Amino acid sequence: MIPKNFKDRVIAPSLLAADFSRIGDEVSRAIHSGADWMHMDVMDGHFVDNISFGPAVIQTVHESNDIFLDVHLMISRPDHYLSRFIAAGSDLITVHVEAEHDVAETLGRIREAGCQAGLAINPATPLKAAEPFLDQIDLLLCMTVVPGFGGQAFMPEVLEKIEAAAKFRETNGLSYHVEVDGGIDAVTAARCFAAGANVMVAGSSTFRAPDMAAAIRSIRNS
């Protein structure tokens, strides 16, 4: 699946909030509920204080379902592990500007492999840290919580950064998506859409909603 235009709204449920005892069924449920992408949070217990899953889970989802895989590497050495996530079937790979690697080189390797390239910045990281690389990416992920654990409250102070990222994109004639992740539901999504983001990562508010399809519609239409 080719990523949508950055002006289109994209809903990407986060697998981290799914029932891990039935991952394949959960991904299918998300697809049938209207999900555009599947967001995959990879955590190494070092870059963030949590451990989630690795390439094997991504490969399982890739082989069992047909959905665009938005893989977010919250790991210290994305350059070292990159080839494994490419081989697993990732469609878009996002790495952190704060991680221990040559950012430009890693982004180049992602694109050379035929994947979309994303760059993530934590709430405390200024947009300026990402600016040298914004012409090399397909997506900018502005974390709206401190990364590591699901279920955190949305941080409204990040909205200013989202607005700045959208303005930088327009001023420089770029076309990257602006994605947000953390505390996203229909209410906070509306604020993020208004600020210039178009990709909404939503975990608890989708997978754990009584009606996942209704939850996804409410986020998309907020």
> Which is the catalytic residue, given 44, 138, 181, 185?
181
Residue 3 located in a structural domain: no
Q: Is 8 a catalytic residue?
A: no
Residue 1 located in a structural domain: no
Question: What total of structural domains would you count in the chain?
Answer: 1
Residue 73 located in a structural domain: yes
Per-residue model confidence (pLDDT) at position 1: 57
Give me the CATH number covering residue 99. 3.20.20.70
Residues of the chain with pLDDT under 70: 1-2
Per-residue model confidence (pLDDT) at position 92: 98
User: What's the domain range around 182?
Assistant: 10-220
Residue 4 located in a structural domain: no
**Phi/psi of residue 156, each to 5°?**
-65, -20
How far is it, in rounded angstroms, from Cα 186 to Cα 205? 9
Residue 154 located in a structural domain: yes
pLDDT tens digits along 109-159: 999 999 999 999 999 999 999 999 999 999 999 999 998 777 789 999 999
Q: Is 181 a catalytic residue?
A: yes
Residue 114 located in a structural domain: yes
Per-residue model confidence (pLDDT) at position 43: 96
How far is it, in rounded angstroms, from Cα 88 to Cα 90? 6
Per-residue model confidence (pLDDT) at position 147: 86
Report helix, strand and coil shares of the chain as percent, to nearest 5. 40, 20, 35
Per-residue model confidence (pLDDT) at position 103: 98
- 206 CA to centre of own chain: 15
> Which is the catalytic residue, given 36, 41, 79, 138?
41
